[in-house]
A and B are shown apart, each in its own frame.
Chain A
Amino acid sequence: MEHDETKLISRCQEGDQEALKQIFDLYHNKVYRVAYGVLRHREEALDIVQEVFIKLFRSIRDFKRESRLSTYLYRMTVNTAIDHLRKMGKARVSSLDEEEAIQPAEEPERRPDRIFLYKELEGKVNEALNKLPVDQRTAMVLREVEGLSYQEIAETMKSSIGTVMSRLHYGRKRMQELLKDYLQEGAGK
């Protein structure tokens, strides 16, 4: 697989669009899952997938093969998604103690869709994720959604393993506090 991937990268660097299509077929799911995990918005996640692969094609000559292609793609996806969050005014990089100012406060009596518990739960999860600083949110997505190892997360986020563990620890702690009612009910099953 690695040998094939090396060939694909070389062909892509020479401008072979078919090679890009093959890379797209191999990795679009991963890119989408990370983008959706961070943004929690389908259309925006699809836009990120499009942007990432176009960027990849344009920048692949600079790919030095010091990391794996998957890491390179994850990193590009995370950075593109975070840029998108910042443009939408949703990115929080400060500490947990800062008050949430972006997401609307919950007003249950205005919500029309309480009929669907699933939608409500999904909304709660998205709200909780939005309250995490971007670095914790990213680490959580890479670990919980994509199952990356600490090493892979560290390479993707260009941080140390210790930092990754810390982000996961505080991210999980905060998410568990925010979603404690749903976790106690066993809604996570």
Chain B
Amino acid sequence: MKDSCAATSELLERYFDHEVSDEERSGIETHIEDCSACRDRIKTMEGLRNLLKSPVDEVEQKEDFSRVWLRIERGIQPEETPAWGESIRRWIDLILRKRVWVPAAAVIVAIFLALAPSVLKRSPSSSDPSVVEYVESQDYNVMVYESEKGNVTVIWLFEGPEKEGLSPS
């Protein structure tokens, strides 16, 4: 039995992976019927396989691959680069057309008139630190902290222990 076990043991992994000949398989299966040690080894390998495979199966089912395809589609689009001369000619044609520059000028004036009050009033200077105008968390405490140098603002969420009933992802 021991000799048989030693011989079978070397083949056990290949048997588990279906990489043995019919003759070898037959010999191993005969041995396993009477050898609990070899049966346990196979069970252990099955257990390991399940530990590795099950999470992958679960996660795969939840994924939305359609959005991945959209990203791929964007990634494979060729970049169009028109000839320089053609681009410049097109722009000149466009600008010189009265039907374009007259309404364009009108819109620019309108934009200026609309924005003037906002632009002329004091707008936040870039030397001001980033400002947290509003922060809310229904379930947790939040702290807002300004660093001494004023170039980093920290919002910290004090998340407690996971609430029971939340399903693991």
Contacts and interface: CB of A to CB of B under 8 A. Distances in A.
Tell me if chains A and B make direct contact, with any CB pair below 8 A: yes
A183 B17 contact: no
Please report whether the interface of chain A is mostly helix, strand, loop or mixed according to DSSP: helix
B13 A183 contact: no
Given A46-B68, A143-B17, A188 B50 contact: yes
A97 interface: no
Contacts of A176: 44, 48
A51 B47 CA distance: 33
A168 B32 CA distance: 22
Contacts of B14: 165
Interface in A9-35: 17, 20-21, 24, 28-29, 32-33
Contacts of B44: 176, 183
Interface string A109-140: 00011011011011001000100000000001
25 contacts: A20-B76, A28-B65, A33-B56, A36-B59, A36-B60, A42-B63, A58-B76, A112-B161, A115-B161, A140-B52, A141-B52, A143-B17, A144-B48, A144-B52, A145-B53, A150-B17, A165-B13, A165-B14, A168-B13, A172-B48, A179-B51, A183-B44, A183-B48, A188-B50, A188-B51
